Chains A and B, each alone.
Chain A
Amino acid sequence: MTFVVTDNCIKCKYMDCVEVCPVDCFYEGENMLVIHPDECIDCGVCEPECPAEAIVPDTQGGLDDWLKLNAEFAKVWPNITIKREPPADAKEFDGVAGKLANFFSPKPGQGD
């Protein structure tokens, strides 16, 4: 069982989660973060920390695509444990629908 990062992280990437995660299981893409499902211990500490409410438990239904995306990119993006400044326009994208189709970038972020 794991937590999963979903659509509203894209282009928001507030990064509050990485500071509280006890097991450093966040990985950074150019405009979103993902959780490594094999490293997450399901403690749930990150979930309420996300200002975008983008982190959800995998026990919630309908997350297969997001689980796949998290697992796939956690293997190739760099680890991130230290929060940086979120994007300047994060607030404007918070809550925008369908960000995966329109804005998702598979490129890696800078990591720690």
Chain B
Amino acid sequence: MERTTQLSEAEIGNLVDAFYAKVRADAALGPVFDRAISDWGPHLETMRKFWSSVMLTSGRYKGNPVAVHHRVQGIDIALFDRWLALFDETCREMFDAELTASFNDKAARIAESLKLALFYRPDRPWPPIRAS
């Protein structure tokens, strides 16, 4: 059934909490996030504000995610696909297909931007050829 009410801040909060619980438990993503984030409370609040800004145009988040990701040790381009898969899985558990697609669309665009910012080199092919 299609939803008739607008996405709420509370639902975004629940999504962020559920998603990052999966991230921390994930064999590939967990160690990278736990090394980068010493205090999860403020990080979850930052992510609630971020998704509120992106999905509800609330202007609650102000930051520079490109610079932040440049500082993350052990960040690897393949981790972005794993992140997107877990995000999709979490959205499906909480939202209908339309809203899930809307979150996935934003997440995929933002992920591509961050990947370009972190890994694009003018003298190499894009997307990078994966080592098998």
Residues of A within 8 A of B (CB): 1-2, 19-24, 38-45, 49, 81
Residues of B within 8 Å of A, CB-based: how many? 19
Query: Can you report 18 A-B residue pairs in the complex whose CB atoms are below 8 A from each other?
Result: A20-B57, A22-B62, A22-B63, A23-B62, A23-B63, A23-B65, A24-B62, A24-B64, A39-B66, A41-B65, A41-B114, A42-B110, A43-B53, A43-B54, A43-B106, A43-B109, A43-B110, A44-B106
Chain A residues within 8 Å of B61, by CB? 22
Interface residues of B: mostly helix, strand, loop or mixed?
A: helix
Is B63 a contact of A2 with CB atoms below 8 Å?
Answer: no
> How many angstroms between the C-alpha atoms of A3 and B110 in the bound complex?
12
Q: Is the CB of A41 within 8 A of B53?
A: no
Residue of B nearest to A25 (CB): B64
- B112 in the interface (beta carbon within 8 A): yes
Partner of B113, one of A21, A42, A81: A42
* Interface: B87 (CB within 8 A): no
Q: Are A20 and B65 in contact (CB under 8 A)?
A: no
Contact A1 B116 (CB under 8 A): yes
- A-contact 0/1 string along B40-82, CB 8 Å cutoff: 0000000000100110010101111110000000000000000
* B109 contacts A23, C-beta separation under 8 Å: no
Q: Are B50 and A22 in contact (CB under 8 A)?
A: yes
Chain A residues with CB under 8 A of B59: 19-22
**Which residues of chain A are near B117, meaning CB under 8 Å?**
38
